[in-house]
Structure 1
Amino acid sequence: MAFLEHYYISLVQCLGTMYLVVALVLWFFKAPDTDVFRPYLVSKMLLAVCFTFLAIDMFACLIIFDVNGLYTDWPLIVLDLSLYYIVAKIFSFAFSNLLDKSYLTPYRLKKAALKALVISSLLIIPLCHCVIEPAKYVCVGIALSLITKFYIDFVVFLYRRLKKMKADIDNYYSEDKTDRLEWVHRCIILVVILGTFATISVFQGVLFNLCFHLSLVFFNLYFVIGFLNYKDIFAGVAKAVVAEEVKGEGSKPTASSPATSDYTIGLIESKVTKWVDEKEFKKSQFTIEEIAQEIGTNKTYLSNFINSKFGDNFSVWVTKLRVEESKSLMIEHPDSKLETIAFEVGFSSSSYFSKVFSKYEGASPAAWRKVRGG
């Protein structure tokens, strides 16, 4: 037991030091100070605060646990649960704000402060000597229920927001760029797993907490490294998402609404038809905003026209046009390399071309051409 206790204390000390170092890295990490990067900078600051509290939590663990039991007394139970909730709440603000720049509203902040007050009050009640032992457990149980509800609401928000962001990106770029959100998706899965273990760890002994903290280290390092790298693609993601947020504001008329005249719809349709006939979709890496400017219309109208007319988002619509063009080229030029055809119709790589062709045609480009005698 003496060895285990020494090992546990040494590990916690190392973790606390590491979290302080990570907090300092986040504080001093530079990102462009522009309106586009404002949510990223705010999330960076919140994460720095979060890792500072994590360091405090690690050092607090040195006095919360003993090697043989769960907790030493009620004040330490209150301290651990309070720090756990604070860290989780700050992290949720940082992650949510990164995905939705309008998340940190005064209403949400006031609501979070009220919940924190209620949970703190429930956790403080067991410290009163006049409260009987069963009542203490009831208060802690209610507090844990509220924390669990917060955690579930947080995960639900993340999944809904991720789905919305994927739709925004698909409706903005000419190719599938949702791989830019892969880090976000993985982090959400890890949040689900670690959040569950975090709740369980509150009532477990040293061995379980050792395993939990070790797994938490890997998650935190993965999240921070991913967050720092996310800076390089944040502007591209934010541009697509902002475009969709602006599109949804107010009561702007859409191509499918009565406020849009038949003349406007007809004008957009004629320009889109001309754009397709001239095979402008064979260009690589463009956005719906660029096409709207090119044909002299509004990206809002263009987006809604494509969605209502063809039943597809912008990315899928362009991809289908390219796939159809590639089929024509494979028939007309049976000796051409598939890679050459892929680049000619606008795909960024032959592997991506093969992937989407198989998705829509049910066979690879090579198999499709072989069946048709190419």
Structure 2
Amino acid sequence: MSSLVGFVFNTELSLIITIVTSFVLSLILLLIKVPNTDYSRKISKAKNTMAVCFLVCTVLMIMTFRYSGIANYDTFASLMMFVVTAISSAILSYSLINVLEDNFIDNDKFFLNVGLVAVLSFVVVSSFFWDPSWYRTMLLTSSVVLFLIQCTIHILLFHKVYKKSVKKIEQYYDEDEDRRIRWIRFCYVIMMLTQVFILVYMLLPRGFMKIYILWYAVFLIYFSANFISFLGSHKIMLDAFAYKALSGQDLMRRIDENRRKKLASRRKSDQNDEVSLPEYTASEFAKLQKSIERWVKDKKYKEYDRTRDEIALELHTSKEILHLYFTTKIGVDFRTWRTNLRVEEAKRLLLENKDASINIIAEASGFSDKSNFHRQFVKIVGCSPKQWRESDGKPDL
């Protein structure tokens, strides 16, 4: 019985499970086809990079399994898993960052990073066969420090590109839409915790490494499942990332160009037409104001997952004119103005439908995300939706 338990809970079996898992997932990723377009090319690149990473992990773990008969095998397995995490953290970080923004990390820097890790990993694994000495200890200590530095740099880069990507999505949808890429941040956190935790397991007594190896298989499945799920709905994000939000100076330049083109066209048809830019703007704003009044009356502000282009088209204007109207005439941007309308609608619905759940009220008001609804409600009203309902709209009393 004890021998059976020892077989079930040994390092070799854990390695076999993780090897099979890694290899199968790499094949699945390689076989998945992503439409070959300009905007989806980076997704395909990230997918293939992940598949190669899993194949590299498979090869390294097979090498680990082949040496299962040597003395101090658990120590050797720990060193090999340290190498696996060092290489995979570099490659997977590059892949996830590449999903958010292509070429944010230069290919040359990426290959240099992976190359240096590979060389150092070879030296670290070779040191296992050296006689114990101070330079072996120094090598391992230096490797751990460099590994932590690498993880820190990648975390900072990911944080920077993630914030930039959230801003792009919000500019495109005029919503707080970070939920669309929240899974990437969560997967990245799980990945980094998994990679860094190898250092903890290396310090634990012999026998604990098999637990980490099994956990690594679970991590690979979770990571791949999220990415494969994303591949089925990546168009939403690609649309936003393909859209380049204009800065204030570029915006005014585009607006002036559009105005001049329209004025030039009018002058060609009627040489006596002396419409100036201010007159043109006033005319556009007057028409837009009527469109907005109808839009509000029809409660179109409750519709979510609408892009700025779609809303501008519905209002018979351009996104540049729409932006200019709200910043110059209303004093706030379109998203803030629409959020206020949604919160006012939610305030009314909360009092009129006290049996309805807050989630239903949030969606009926135009909020697709409950946490965002709660955050915006508290920010604008000064109390939570629950407090507003329970106080009959008088939270200060």
Same fold (TM over 0.5): yes
Which residue number in structure 2 is paired with residue 119 of structure 1? Answer: 120
Q: Which has the higher contact order (CA 8 A, sep 6+)?
A: 2
Backbone CA RMSD of aligned residues: 4.6
Larger mean CA deviation between 108-117 and 180-189 belongs to: 108-117
Check conservation: 1:255, 1:301, Cα contact below 8 A: no
CA distance in 2, matches of 1:347, 1:77: 48
Which residue number in structure 1 is paired with residue 266 of structure 2? Answer: none
CA distance in 1, matches of 2:219, 2:43: 20
SS in 2 for 1:278: helix
Matches within 5 A, 1:27-42: 27-42=30-45
- Code of the residue aligned with 1:290 in structure 2: it is E
SS in 1 for 2:250: coil
Per the TM alignment, residue 227 of structure 1 is displaced from its structure 2 partner at its CA by: 0.7
Identity of aligned residues (%): 20
CA distance in 1, matches of 2:135, 2:160: 38
Which residue number in structure 1 is paired with residue 337 of structure 2? Answer: 317
CA distance in 2, matches of 1:350, 1:196: 33
SS in 2 for 1:247: coil
Per the TM alignment, residue 45 of structure 1 is displaced from its structure 2 partner at its CA by: 0.9
SS in 1 for 2:233: helix
Matches within 5 A, 1:206-355: 206-243=206-243, 246-247=244-245, 253-254=250-251, 263=278, 273-280=289-296, 282-283=299-300, 284-285=303-304, 286-295=306-315, 299=319, 302=322, 314-324=334-344, 346=366
Larger mean CA deviation between 218-227 and 50-59 belongs to: 50-59
Check conservation: 2:11, 2:74, Cα contact below 8 A: no
Matches within 5 A, 1:192-203: 192-202=192-202
Distance 1:196 1:5, change over 3 A: same
Equivalent in 27, 47, 63 of residue 60 of structure 1: 63
Which residue number in structure 1 is paired with residue 53 of structure 2? Answer: 50
Distance 1:79 1:172, change over 3 A: same
SS in 1 for 2:232: helix
Aligned residue pairs, count: 363
Q: TM-score, normalised by structure 1?
A: 0.75
Which residue number in structure 2 is paired with residue 141 of structure 1? Answer: 141
**Within the alignment, does 1:24 sit opposite 2:27 as a pair?**
yes
**Within the alignment, does 1:109 sit opposite 2:106 as a pair?**
no
SS in 2 for 1:36: coil
SS in 2 for 1:56: helix
Per the TM alignment, residue 38 of structure 1 is displaced from its structure 2 partner at its CA by: 1.5
1:208-243 deviation per Cα after TM superposition (whole angstroms, max 9, x unaligned): 212212222222111111111112332112222332
**Within the alignment, does 1:177 sit opposite 2:177 as a pair?**
yes
Distance 1:20 1:334, change over 3 A: closer
Q: TM-score, normalised by structure 2?
A: 0.71
Larger mean CA deviation between 13-22 and 357-366 belongs to: 357-366
Per the TM alignment, residue 301 of structure 1 is displaced from its structure 2 partner at its CA by: 6.7
CA distance in 2, matches of 1:308, 1:299: 14
| Unaligned ranges ≥5, structure 2 | 260-276
- Code of the residue aligned with 1:90 in structure 2: it is I
Which residue number in structure 2 is paired with residue 92 of structure 1? Answer: 93
CA distance in 2, matches of 1:27, 1:93: 17
| Unaligned ranges ≥5, structure 1 | none
Per the TM alignment, residue 27 of structure 1 is displaced from its structure 2 partner at its CA by: 1.3
Check conservation: 2:86, 2:147, Cα contact below 8 A: yes
Larger mean CA deviation between 211-220 and 57-66 belongs to: 57-66
CA distance in 1, matches of 2:196, 2:384: 42
CA distance in 1, matches of 2:105, 2:321: 30
Per the TM alignment, residue 194 of structure 1 is displaced from its structure 2 partner at its CA by: 1.1
CA distance in 1, matches of 2:361, 2:201: 56
